[in-house]
């Protein structure tokens, strides 16, 4: 087999060294983070969950470790306060394609930059998403919960139990007001949203989904499912 280059994207396994050595220029990976931050399976979601202000794409030479190889090129994009796991994934996919083409053009022109070794001391691991993580813990701060809601949209989607039923939360925002109660207490429910106390601050739910129903605004949800403050 005579190959010049192998390119890998969104592949969850580590290639054996026998495969890595087949192509003339080795195997390249398009990784959706600024390595060595967020090595692993869920770099897009973990960046949002952690409150990162920026993330990006790394074009790297694959090695035998998990996302440990040297990096040819990185491209940066901001993480906005409205980004979800889905929107950031789509933007990084476009950025990754453009970055890969830049590297291929440099390789074809004989101007390929030297790969830069990663600093292992700066490594953060982006663990695979688990459905169990999606259950909202109201003891956490409003900011952390809001970041997780955005990170886990469109999967696995954060949720909590309200009136004995599971309610998925697709969108929320942190509210600057006092929280006169323990985490999980509803202090307001109207067309603007459902305001819930957290371990620190108040979270306003904006878009929810009841089991068996479609996603909807809180205003629409409350029309059919009234919620009383103080729960």
Residue pLDDT, tens place only, 55-91 = 999 999 999 999 999 999 999 999 999 999 999 999 9
Q: Are residues 101 and 184 both part of a single domain?
A: no
Q: Are residues 96 and 145 both part of a single domain?
A: no
Per-residue pLDDT reduced to its tens digit, 171-222: 999 998 888 889 999 999 999 999 999 999 999 999 999 999 999 999 999 9
Domain limit, last residue, from 99, 126, 153:
126
Q: Are residues 170 and 156 both part of a single domain?
A: yes
Q: Residue 2 pLDDT more than 90? A: no
- Residue 177 maps to a domain: yes
CATH number at residue 216: 3.10.25.10
Q: Are residues 163 and 200 both part of a single domain?
A: yes
Q: Residue 23 pLDDT more than 80? A: yes
Per-residue pLDDT reduced to its tens digit, 110-164: 998 889 999 999 999 999 999 999 999 999 999 999 999 999 999 999 999 998 9
Phi and psi dihedrals of 132, rounded to 5? -65, -25
How many H-runs (helices) and E-runs (strands) does the chain carry? 5, 12
Prediction pTM value: 0.96
Q: Are residues 79 and 166 both part of a single domain?
A: no
Select from 139, 145, 141 the least CA-distant residue to 200: 141
Select from 110, 100, 50 the least CA-distant residue to 75: 100
- Residue 230 maps to a domain: no
Tokens of 14: 């580590």
CATH number at residue 27: 3.40.50.170
**Would you say 29 and 60 are in contact if contact means Cβ atoms under 8 Å apart?**
yes
Confidence of residue 231 (pLDDT cuts 50, 70, 90): low
Which pLDDT score is estimated for 113?
86
Confidence of residue 104 (pLDDT cuts 50, 70, 90): very high
CA 121 vs CA 51, 68, 109: distances in Å: 20, 12, 34
Q: Are residues 14 and 113 both part of a single domain?
A: yes
Domain limit, last residue, from 56, 91, 126:
126
| Residues linked to residue 175 through DSSP beta bridges, in sequence order | 202
Which pLDDT score is estimated for 177?
84
Q: Is 104 exposed, middle or buried (0-12, 13-18, 19+ CB in 10 A)?
A: middle
CB neighbours of 19 closer than 8 A, spacing ≥ 6?
A: 6, 27
Domain limit, last residue, from 94, 126, 158:
126
- Residue 220 maps to a domain: yes
CB neighbours of 175 closer than 8 A, spacing ≥ 6?
A: 142, 195, 201, 202, 203, 204
- Residue 148 maps to a domain: yes
- Residue 1 maps to a domain: no
Strands 125-126 and 39-40: parallel
Range of the domain at 206: 131-224
Domain count for the chain: 2
């Amino acid at each position: 087999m005579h190959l010049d280059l192998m390119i890998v994207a969104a592949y969850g396994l580590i290639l054996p060294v026998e495969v890595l050595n087949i192509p003339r220029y080795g195997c390249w990976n398009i990784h959706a983070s600024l390595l060595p931050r967020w090595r692993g399976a869920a770099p897009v979601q973990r960046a949002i969950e952690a409150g990162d202000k920026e993330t990006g794409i790394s074009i790297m030479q694959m090695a035998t470790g998990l996302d440990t190889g040297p990096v040819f090129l990185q491209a940066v994009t901001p993480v906005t306060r409205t980004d979800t796991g889905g929107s950031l994934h789509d933007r990084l996919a476009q950025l990754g394609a453009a970055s890969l083409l830049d590297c291929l053009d440099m390789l074809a022109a004989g101007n390929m930059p030297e790969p830069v070794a990663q600093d292992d001391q700066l490594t953060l691991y982006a663990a695979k998403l688990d459905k169990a993580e999606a259950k909202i813990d109201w003891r956490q701060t409003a900011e952390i919960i809001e970041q997780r809601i955005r990170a886990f949209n469109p999967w696995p989607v954060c949720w909590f139990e309200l009136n004995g039923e599971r309610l998925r939360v697709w969108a929320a925002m942190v509210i600057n007001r006092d929280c006169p109660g323990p985490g999980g207490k509803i202090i307001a429910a109207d067309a603007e949203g459902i305001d819930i106390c957290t371990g620190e601050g108040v979270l306003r739910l904006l878009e929810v989904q009841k089991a068996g129903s479609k996603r909807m605004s809180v205003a629409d949800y409350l029309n059919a499912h009234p919620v009383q403050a103080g729960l």
